[in-house]
Structure 1
Amino acid sequence: MATTTTTTTGFTPGMLPDEYESLRRQVAKFADTEVAPVSAELDAAHRFPYELVARMGAMGLFGLPFDEEHGGMGGDYFALCLAIEEIARVNQSLAITLEAGVSLGAMPIHRFGTEEQKREWLPQLTDGSGLAAFGLTEPEAGSDAGGTRTKAVLEDGTWTINGSKSFITNSGTDITRLVTATAVTGTRIGGDGQEKPEISTIMIPAGTPGFTAEPAYDKVGWNSSDTHPLTFDNVRVPEENLLGERGRGYANFLRILDEGRIAVAALSVGAAQGCVDESVKYAGERTSFGRPIAEYQGISFKIARMEARVVAARTAYYLAASRMLAGLPFKKEAAIAKLVAGEAAMDNARDATQIHGGYGFMNEYLVARHYRDSKILEVGEGTTEVQLMLIARELGI
């Protein structure tokens, strides 16, 4: 896919440039014909979808925003968001596997890696044959990432890393190639004259002695995605495994989070849209007192409100993506998109479950999976409260 130049006016829902629309249709067909039929089985078995990941790799989805020189498709971040949205309509677990594999796994290497690091790692991440993860969150450092306790000591050209990470996506699969972890590598004097921890990011290949992906979490939702706590017990890696400038790990990851919020917003929009699609279909087929329930105003108005949420959330993430690609500030817009879309996904899942009645409580129904899956969209990659804080700060309050 060739890169399309965007303007400050951004993208318009329903009026995408041809190459974006072609990609969206291709991924939508894949989602409907190959992903949807096996999603309930994967969810029930808590099984990671290796076959579907390989298929997405062959389609080039993991390489969408990367240059062809490093194995990518030469597209952009908005193309990735469109793909994530379409997959999330039918399977959030697979969508988060793609989102985390690209925006949290490969993107830090693309943004901050040396040419040698890019050539070594990106080709196997952009073709879907391997996955990378980012270890930021710790048991006592979530939204407060500055509270990192993992430490890395450099001696004789080798980093020795000790600590732990929590809730790390794509960190324990058979195709996980590396985890990039934030760690305290020393101290620095801040602008206020106070001593502060120096946080850097270090790449740790899978299989490195002392690096353990602990047993997977038993989650409420996203059951076929891969999520583990990690431990580092005297893990030793070469000095050149430092990713980016020493001491810039936290600042660099804040940039990655800003971008990632747009992708998670796209995932949330896909989930919200999936709830609308299922509700429209069910309301037209289900009868009560001799009439399709869609004819009752209580149902039709509920679905109309669901659709309004989708349109508002999609418009928000399109705006954030367009500003990002145009080189304009987008922190506030990304936070708004994440906030609005995450709430839309959860609200639509709740309403769709209500419309389906008892069937909405059955796990084989897509709306039940969306109900379980969507809550994390108000938590992951920055809670709702963090988004509100960021928006307020950008307003100067």
Structure 2
Amino acid sequence: MEILILLVVVVVLLFAVPDIRKSLISRPAFAFFKRVLPPLSPTEREAMQAGDTWWDADLFSGRPDWHKFHQTKAPQFTEAEQAFIDNQLETLLGMLDDFKIVQKDVDLPKKVWDYIRKEKFFAMIIGKEFGGLDFSPAANSHIVSRIATRSISAAVSVMVPNSLGPGELLTHYGTDEQKNYWLPRLADGTDIPCFALTGPEAGSDAGAIPDTGVVCKGEFEGKEVVGIRLNWSKRYITLAPVATVLGLAFKMYDPDGLLGDQKDIGITCALIPTNHEAVEIGERHYPLNQAFMNGTTYGKDVFIPLDWIIGGQDYAGKGWRMLMECLSAGRGISLPALAAATGHVTERMTGAYAYVRQQFGMPIGLFEGVQAAMGKIGGTNYTLESMRRLTVTALCEGKSPSVITAMTKYHMTEMGRQVMEAAMDVHAGKGIQLGPRNYLGHGYMATPVSITVEGANILTRNLMIFGQGATRCHPYVLAEMEAASNPDEEQGLKQFDSLLLKHIGFAAGNFFGSLFMGLTGARFNASPMSGPTARYYQQLTRMSRALALTADMAMLVMGGDLKRREMLSARLGDVLSHLYMASAVLKRYEDDGRQTGDLPFVEYAMSHHLYEIGQAFKGFFANFPNRFIGWTLRLAIFPLGLHYAKPSDDNLQVIAKSMMEPGLTRDRHTFLCFWKDDPKDMTGHMELAFLAMREHADIYKRIRKAVKRGDIAEDLSGDDLVKAARKAEVISADEAKAFKKTEQLRMTAIGVDQFAPGVIEGRKF
């Protein structure tokens, strides 16, 4: 007992007496922290500091506040936004013939370009005071998504001016003079913008751009002024071939000290008319059989005045921070909108096709192998739409959550690829034969575009999500890093000492909390909701606590090496991402009023995300370099084993059958998918055939029974089947008329395009 009391006294003295704690604990810990602290380049530091945190910080803390989360209101469209969606957007969709756009013209028709400019589709983010529409991120996302269900090429053309580009940069950072001149011209379509960031040696690592701007004296409008001599070579620039104004990112230098003592000023953004002397708009690229304008731009010894810097001279060298903060639009709105469109199209059209296409006398959607693919499409699309909504909710609140938008971009584009591949598997030859009837082909070819741009997905997953999330979302690490980088050693130590006790308590709470939740199955965790989703909240809180514990230990043990161990850090990023996606699913389920028809989709999504979280942890523990710590973490988090399982076969089958049922659930899950009430339309022929077959399901059932009895031959279809059914008196004369029309629709729907000899070779569509 005396020894125990003595130990308690020692511990109290060590931690409670500031001078003793600082001398014996904080100072050695501070030295260790500075030694293992991952070195940050200036661009990395700016990336870390750019943007905001939101729900991601709650999830990373290990203590998510679910009540606060559910108090967040889903954004609603304004009257002006809804009117635009109901009128201008629908008009545009009716004008788009994607096969002609891509395969014949390789460009949008002039009437479409004119309509887009006239109706200000390029000006959704520009304020009304400058003649723009001033739409919310929610409206922006909805509009781009719906266009993408009709034409990826048109959607990309619309989305680029409304994401990373001069319009957004000017809105946030432009001088009054720049805003007053350029924004009205961009709003009314007088000017078409592009933004040149990517070059041959700088893709995802935009900080490595070799393009330069040297401060010097030169002639502008007949006068000698101090300006910038630019040299650049850019590629992959969307809208460059038709742009009239060029946003340019370059590294700015002042070797002669004309602006001050700083020689290397840093990344800077400028706005340059494309008709300016020596500016060259190069030739077009051809991005995977898509028709949106994409190409190159060059400049050699191009002289511009200083006031062409976006934001003016005060923003020289601040371009990287500006770009990082504005990338959230591309990562959080535009590219996820394309992925959401893929989900809506594949769920609606695959459900219809799986019912319309028959084999062995029955819809292929009744075969379990096909149902497995369909279940994946429907379940994944529920997450896609949930994630799209939650992320635009953050953006509508004025947040710029860099980690969340990175997660959204990476995972939504990857899920878009997965559902498209599953849809192609179900459609088989229907999806392969390219032509006016193929509603999947161009989307399939466009999938890598979203995955590649705005930061390649490999980089986003392996470096950005956890690398940025670990510092931005952790309650103490960023402040500790700032303390460690303080040039005043004693002041830094004082800051660090004030954080250390809190961090130790945080870590200890996470360890024992994770162990308790693991032993009890998290059944004592509070849940904000009752009913079938209650257990999911308990498990997500448990995994949130596990992430906080594991991230702390990984940073403590590995320090700067963790940044280079990308496979390990990516797994922790996956945990954070799946926590976010699962949260989005639960939020949508509640926001939509707990629809009974949604529950199978929710169950699929939650099972999938929890399973992926478990697998990410499993891979992390198995590959952690310190085997003992890896084993200890696994024992603390999963003391009774890892029991998360993939979605069940029954779950997949229920979703597949729901996808083949016309009605409210199908319409709500695929509301972004455009289809025209016209059998000649690429989506209309499938939708109309599906609805007709569902309407006359009883006739098909009677005929199948007659075939089984031998009253009708089993190899008949179309008119021959109608005649045989009538002859066998399986259907009445009136039913025969309806059935004949339905069979005509069905045969058209499962048909594919064919071309006469010489047409394809000559590209004479």
The one-letter code matched in structure 1 to 2:376 is: R
**Residues 108 and 256, structure 1, Cα contact 8 Å, conserved in 2:** yes
Report the counterpart of residue 240 of structure 2 in structure 1.
Answer: 171
The one-letter code matched in structure 2 to 1:47 is: V
**Residues 122 and 158, structure 2, Cα contact 8 Å, conserved in 1:** yes
Other structure's SS at 1:243 match: coil
Deviation at 1:378, TM superposition (A): 1.2
Aligned pairs for 1:235-274 (under 5 A) are 235-244=302-311, 245-263=315-333, 264-274=335-345
Other structure's SS at 1:215 match: strand
Other structure's SS at 2:72 match: coil
2:152 matched to 1:83? no
The one-letter code matched in structure 1 to 2:308 is: N
User: 2 CA distance for matches of 1:97 and 1:381?
Assistant: 15
Deviation at 1:238, TM superposition (A): 2.4
Report the counterpart of residue 369 of structure 2 in structure 1.
Answer: 298
Aligned pairs for 1:218-233 (under 5 A) are 218-221=286-289, 223-233=290-300
The one-letter code matched in structure 1 to 2:439 is: L
Of residues 243, 262, 275, the one that matches 1:207 is 275
Report the counterpart of residue 725 of structure 2 in structure 1.
Answer: none
Quickly say closer, same or farther: Cα 1:128–1:100, change in 2 above 3 A.
same
Report the counterpart of residue 130 of structure 1 in structure 2.
Answer: 191
Quickly say closer, same or farther: Cα 1:51–1:104, change in 2 above 3 A.
farther
Of residues 152, 163, 173, the one that matches 1:112 is 173
Report the counterpart of residue 470 of structure 2 in structure 1.
Answer: 395
TM-score w.r.t. structure 2 length? 0.47
Other structure's SS at 2:267 match: strand
Deviation at 1:219, TM superposition (A): 2.4
Report the counterpart of residue 394 of structure 2 in structure 1.
Answer: 323
User: 2 CA distance for matches of 1:309 and 1:195?
Assistant: 51
What's the CA shift string for 1:61-105, capped at 9, x where partnerless?
322222111111232222111110111112111111111122123
Deviation at 1:25, TM superposition (A): 4.5
Moved more, 151-160 or 341-350: 151-160
Q: Percent identity?
A: 20
What's the CA shift string for 1:110-147, capped at 9, x where partnerless?
12111111121112222334321111111111111111
The one-letter code matched in structure 2 to 1:395 is: A
User: 1 CA distance for matches of 2:274 and 2:104?
Assistant: 25
Report the counterpart of residue 58 of structure 1 in structure 2.
Answer: 118
Other structure's SS at 2:341 match: helix
Structure with greater helix percent: 2
Of residues 147, 161, 173, the one that matches 2:208 is 147
Deviation at 1:209, TM superposition (A): 2.3
Quickly say closer, same or farther: Cα 1:354–1:44, change in 2 above 3 A.
same
Deviation at 1:258, TM superposition (A): 1.8
Deviation at 1:243, TM superposition (A): 0.6
**Residues 92 and 112, structure 2, Cα contact 8 Å, conserved in 1:** no
The one-letter code matched in structure 2 to 1:267 is: L
The one-letter code matched in structure 2 to 1:138 is: G
Deviation at 1:390, TM superposition (A): 2.2
Of residues 352, 372, 375, the one that matches 2:423 is 352
**Residues 187 and 196, structure 1, Cα contact 8 Å, conserved in 2:** yes
2:309 matched to 1:309? no
The one-letter code matched in structure 1 to 2:151 is: N
Deviation at 1:17, TM superposition (A): 4.8
Quickly say closer, same or farther: Cα 1:329–1:112, change in 2 above 3 A.
closer
Other structure's SS at 2:178 match: helix
Report the counterpart of residue 104 of structure 2 in structure 1.
Answer: 45
Other structure's SS at 1:225 match: coil
Report the counterpart of residue 376 of structure 1 in structure 2.
Answer: 449
User: 1 CA distance for matches of 2:229 and 2:293?
Assistant: 26
User: 2 CA distance for matches of 1:184 and 1:134?
Assistant: 15
Count of residues in Structure 1 that have an aligned counterpart in Structure 2:
378
What's the CA shift string for 1:198-247, capped at 9, x where partnerless?
111111111222211221113214x2101112111122222211112100
Other structure's SS at 2:272 match: strand
Deviation at 1:23, TM superposition (A): 4.7
Quickly say closer, same or farther: Cα 1:46–1:167, change in 2 above 3 A.
farther
What's the CA shift string for 1:234-278, capped at 9, x where partnerless?
222222111121001111011111222112111221123222232
Other structure's SS at 2:246 match: strand
Structure with greater strand percent: 1
Moved more, 66-75 or 82-91: 66-75
Quickly say closer, same or farther: Cα 1:25–1:311, change in 2 above 3 A.
farther
The one-letter code matched in structure 2 to 1:164 is: S
Deviation at 1:195, TM superposition (A): 8.9
Quickly say closer, same or farther: Cα 1:25–1:239, change in 2 above 3 A.
same
Report the counterpart of residue 158 of structure 1 in structure 2.
Answer: 227
User: 2 CA distance for matches of 1:291 and 1:141?
Assistant: 53
User: 2 CA distance for matches of 1:109 and 1:327?
Assistant: 17
Could you tell me which runs of 5 or more consecutive residues in structure 2 were left unpaired when the two chains were aligned: 1-69, 218-224, 256-261, 472-550, 552-765
2:348 matched to 1:277? yes
Moved more, 337-346 or 381-390: 381-390
**Residues 208 and 236, structure 1, Cα contact 8 Å, conserved in 2:** no
Quickly say closer, same or farther: Cα 1:203–1:341, change in 2 above 3 A.
same
Q: CA RMSD in A?
A: 2.4
Other structure's SS at 2:266 match: strand
User: 2 CA distance for matches of 1:40 and 1:211?
Assistant: 34
User: 1 CA distance for matches of 2:332 and 2:118?
Assistant: 24
